[in-house]
Amino acid sequence: MKIALITTPAGARSGIGDYTRHLLPALRESAEVDLYVEAGRESHDERSVNDLAPREYDQLLYQLGNERQHAFMAPLIRALGGTVMLHDWVLFDLALAAWPELERGGLRGSRRAWIEGGFEQWRILREARRGTPDSAPGPELTIAGGWHDAERAGRWCADRAQVVLGAPTPDALELDVVLPAGRTLEMSQGGPLDELAGPFDGVHAVPLRPGGEGVLDLRVTGIAPTPEQQAHGDTRRLGLFLRSLRVRRDGEWEALQLSAQPPGAGESGLSRARFDLPLNRTIVREADAFLVHNQWMADKIRADRNAPTPIAVVHHGADRRWRDGDRRLTRVELGLPPKYTDSFLLVSLGAVQAHKRVGPLLEGLALARRTRPELRLVLVGEERPREFDLRMHARRLGLEDAVHCTGYVEEAEAWDLLSAADLAVNLRGPTSGGASGGVFQAFSLGRSALITDAPQAREIPADTVRRVALGASEVDDIAKTLSELATDPAHLRSMESAVRRFVEDECHWSHVAARYLEAMSVFPAAKCAKKNLFRLVADYGEKQAAKARETVEAGAGDAGRD
């Protein structure tokens, strides 16, 4: 079989690029594979997609996921078709890169949102772009979205920002504010409330609507970079500078804590809605066939297309890199703090972000350490304090000596850290719908993992992992599981043995490559070659067609009745 593999260029920081790099040698053992990447980024044995002659190949294969650098694949799939290994159901980042009008808004943005997501995603996108707070106003006075990092004397807002007024709704507001010349501040509380023109420097009093909405919306127009910003390369959109804000509630004045971390800080309303915005219809509806990591995604594709669709479920791959040496020596060699040498060590891969359930993990760890103080956690990835303030949460929970963050590390060091672990941790929620490479990286080192009990992970054998469900009991379940495993080394060893069997028998890269080729041998050729499933039957005969019906989860029966 001759395959044109469209993928991430070598050297790019990409989880899917790493996946492809590990798969490629196994794939090339049984097939002729040429690599194609985005024009202008080719190197080594890669070619530009501008040089792709699709009819010279039996299959076009895309390695595609929720990465901005995969945006160039969208027009190719629409024009040429082919087989897509779809790593993520949510393609939010890819879509915003492929169609910038989604981020800009306007009529073109609305039209593209409708094309890529339909009515419901168009509605979510519209509300998110307006900067609507993520949840209903809470009882506390706090800042919400649209604020830059706190400074010593106050805080700058962007073009639009919100303050949650708290409950019950206060009846008066005072702002100590600097509004530069040429800028206008418009305030609303469910409707127009007040307006202030710059230049202004001082305290401004505003009467609030009794019983009105509990969110104050600030909109600044006329923003322009100052000479000072230009001189220092400061690209922020600076609206007004707020030195203080206080409200009157039941006759008492209450001050806003401007140093507090706003929910979703550093993200626009659009970014915070990302997991509700798959924006994937061009990919899902224009590709000819799919490889996916789980049945959940296969079902989503089939339901969206409502037509017979060739789909094969293929495990994420893993290597055999496990070691049987003393893990404590590895920890010393890695330079981990001395207290971590004899601990029960948890290791989590990936940037420190809220959707990776770092908050519940820390809560569960603190709870478990009341009886198992030897439990410690290493987070392998860069901190993103504007998304999740790790240090603040660690201090609050008394975990300063029990949580260590390495920052970004190269792949080889990540492997060493996983090898040093007693248990990997890979919690997610919400998710983009794909298989987590972190779990299979842990499997490559022979380590079991604590994972979120999500439909996307059902293909992972039960004896290789421990699962915790999202919900009210998540923290308690994490604490209970960590305590149990720390006190039962025999059970942990049995889980690690199950991991090795799973890699050897099912998810080693050699098995994954074989499954790829088995599926693609009965998938239709890309539509650009003017072949289809009927031509497949004619070329390969009834025996091959029967194999196609067994191997490909086409879903013809279900789709025909939808």
Q: What domains does the chain contain, in order, with CATH numbers?
A: 1-89+280-317+508-562 (3.40.50), 142-265 (2.60.120), 327-507 (3.40.50.2000)
Q: What is the pLDDT of residue 233?
A: 55
The secondary structure of the chain in percent helix, strand, coil, rounded to multiples of 5, reads 40, 20, 40
User: What confidence tens digit (pLDDT) does each residue in 149-201 have?
Assistant: 777 788 898 888 888 888 788 889 999 999 999 999 999 887 788 999 999 99
Token readout for 211 is 């019983």
Cβ atoms of 406 and 378 closer than 8 Å: yes
Euclidean distance between CA atoms 514 and 343, whole angstroms: 40
pLDDT over 90 at 232, yes or no: no
Lowest mean pLDDT among 113-117, 146-150, 152-156: 146-150
Q: What is the mean pLDDT of residues 129-137?
A: 51
3-state secondary structure 86-155: ECCCCCHHHHHHHCCHHHHCHHHHHHHHHHHHHHHHHHHHHHHHCCCCCCCCCCCCEECCCEEEECCCCE
**Residue 559's pLDDT band (boundaries 50, 70, 90)?**
very low
Q: Give CA–CA dist 280/87, Å, rounded.
A: 12
- The confidence band for 235, taking pLDDT boundaries of 50, 70 and 90, is low
**pLDDT confidence of residue 265:** 42
- pLDDT for the residue 463: 96
pTM: 0.70
pLDDT computed for residue 534 by the predictor = 37
pLDDT attached to residue 213: 67
Q: What is the mean pLDDT of the chain?
A: 85
Q: Is pLDDT of 450 > 60?
A: yes
Looking at the predicted structure, is the pLDDT value of residue 266 above 60? no
Give the model's confidence band at 107: pLDDT under 50 very low, under 70 low, under 90 confident, else very high: confident
- Tell me which of 208 and 150 has the higher pLDDT: 208
Peptide bond before residue 168 is cis, with ω within 30 degrees of 0: yes
**Count of beta carbons in the 10 Å neighbourhood of residue 490:** 7
pLDDT top residue among 149 and 234: 149
> In this predicted structure, what is the pLDDT of residue 471?
83
Q: What CA–CA distance (Å, rounded) separates 303 from 64?
A: 20
pLDDT classification of 556: cutoffs 50, 70, 90: very low
Residue 268 identity (one-letter amino acid)? S
Q: H or E segment at 216?
A: strand 215-221
pLDDT tens digits, residue range 531-549?
433 333 333 334 333 444 4
Residue type, 8: T
Residue 461: pLDDT band with limits 50, 70, 90: very high
Q: How far apart are CA 456 and CA 205, in angstroms?
A: 52
Cβ atoms 367, 482 nearer than 8 A: no
β-strand pairing of 192-197 with 449-452:
unpaired
The larger pLDDT score, comparing residue 543 to residue 14, is at 14
Question: Does the structure show a pLDDT above 90 at 330?
Answer: yes
Q: Please check the confidence at residue 241 and state whether its pLDDT lies above 50.
A: yes
pLDDT digits (tens, 9 = 90+) for 426-442: 998 877 877 778 899 99
pLDDT recorded at residue 211: 61
Task: Spell 441-480 as b/e; 16+ CB within 10 A means b.
Answer: bbbbbbbbbbbbbbebbebbeeebbbbbebeeebbebbbb
Q: What is the pLDDT of residue 109?
A: 87
CA-CA distance, 291 to 520, in Å (whole number)?
A: 9
pLDDT score of 130:
67
Q: How confident is the model at residue 21 (pLDDT cuts 50, 70, 90)?
A: very high
Q: What is the rounded distance in angstroms from the CA atom of residue 171 to the CA atom of residue 212?
A: 9
Check pLDDT > 80 for residue 70: yes
Q: What's the one-letter identity of residue 486?
A: A
Query: What tokens does 151 get?
Result: 């400074």
pLDDT of residue 322: 93
HEC string for 323-371: CCCCHHHHHHHCCCCHHHCCCEEEEEECCECHHHCHHHHHHHHHHHCCC
Residue found under tokens 């060493």: 416
DSSP conformation letters of 72-86? THHHHHHHH--EEEE
DSSP 462: G
The answer to whether residue 465 scores a pLDDT higher than 50 is yes
Can you give the pLDDT at residue 262? Answer: 55
What is the arithmetic mean of pLDDT over 467-496? 94
Provide the percentage of residues in the chain whose pLDDT is more than 70.
88
Estimate to the nearest angstrom the gap between the alpha carbon of 135 and the chain centroid.
20
Half-sphere exposure for 460 (CA within 13 Å, toward CB): 31
Using CA atoms, how far apart are residues 458 and 479, in angstroms rounded to an integer? 22
d(CA 297, CA 390): 32
**CB atoms closer than 10 angstroms to residue 95:** 28
The three-class DSSP label of residue 36 is strand
Q: What is the pLDDT of residue 151?
A: 78
Q: Which residue has the higher pLDDT, 170 or 367?
A: 367
CA 115 to chain centre: 23
